[in-house]
A and B are shown apart, each in its own frame.
Chain A
Amino acid sequence: GDSVTQMEGPVTLSEEAFLTINCTYTATGYPSLFWYVQYPGEGLQLLLKATKADDKGSNKGFEATYRKETTSFHLEKGSVQVSDSAVYFCARSHSGYSTLTFGKGTMLLVSP
């Protein structure tokens, strides 16, 4: 079935470091791809999305490119801040439906 795999955490970085969180998905159908973020004590918030191959989603300095050839949607940010500390979830939709399949989540911890 459809699945999403993302790198294990926690990822610990110093402020201003470069961030990559890897995400790969099963290549069935024509999914849309998402990154959600969960700050402590809050719900999941959509960070960015891409709906077709080669699309790049971006928001708040984060970027991810929909790579069909490698079935990947890696999240990147050039310079992380302490306030970026959160859990990041990669997700895909099913073709024609809005049901989301999530990865396990990756905790990011950024220290000053």
Chain B
Amino acid sequence: EPEVTQTPSHQVTQMGQEVILRCVPISNHLYFYWYRQILGQKVEFLVSFYNNEISEKSEIFDDQFSVERPDGSNFTLKIRSTKLEDSAMYFCASSERDGAAEQFFGPGTRLTVL
């Protein structure tokens, strides 16, 4: 069964460093998403991506964040200069279409900023 994969499963970084979180969405999906969950808090939407551009983003997704689909399979989230409060579980998701279509989630990357 096709699934969304994410690497690494756990990333530890120093404050101020750049990190890139990687995701491989399901191959025939066209819509891609990043969410995050700070420990003990809600899963929060960060950004959605379609047709090689951002279609929607939240207030959290400021200039420190960027997304890219560098090739036909990968979808990355870059945090340019990490802060302590960026420590969270980051989930990638993909869906075939927009609206109420099911989003398929990856297992997440736990980012720890020291």
Contacts and interface: CB of A to CB of B under 8 A. Distances in A.
Contacts of B19: none
A41 B89 CA distance: 12
A89 B44 CA distance: 12
Nearest to A41: B107
Given A51-B100, A96-B99, A44 B41 contact: no
Contacts of B6: 43
A96 B101 CA distance: 11
Interface in A80-112: 89, 91, 93, 96-105
Given A97-B56, A99-B56, A103-B42, A45 B100 contact: no
B15 to A, nearest CB: 27
Nearest to A104: B42
A103 B98 CA distance: 21
A98 B103 contact: yes
Given A102-B44, A104-B41, A44 B100 contact: no
Given A43-B91, A43-B105, A101 B100 contact: no
A69 interface: no
Contact of B91 (A44, A99, A105): A44
Contacts of A96: 99
B20 interface: no
A74 interface: no
A28 B82 CA distance: 34
Interface in B59-114: 91, 93, 95, 98-108
B45 A44 contact: no
A93 B99 contact: yes
Contacts of A98: 31, 33, 48, 95, 98-101, 103
Interface of B: 3-4, 6, 31, 33, 35, 40-45, 48, 56, 91, 93, 95, 98-108
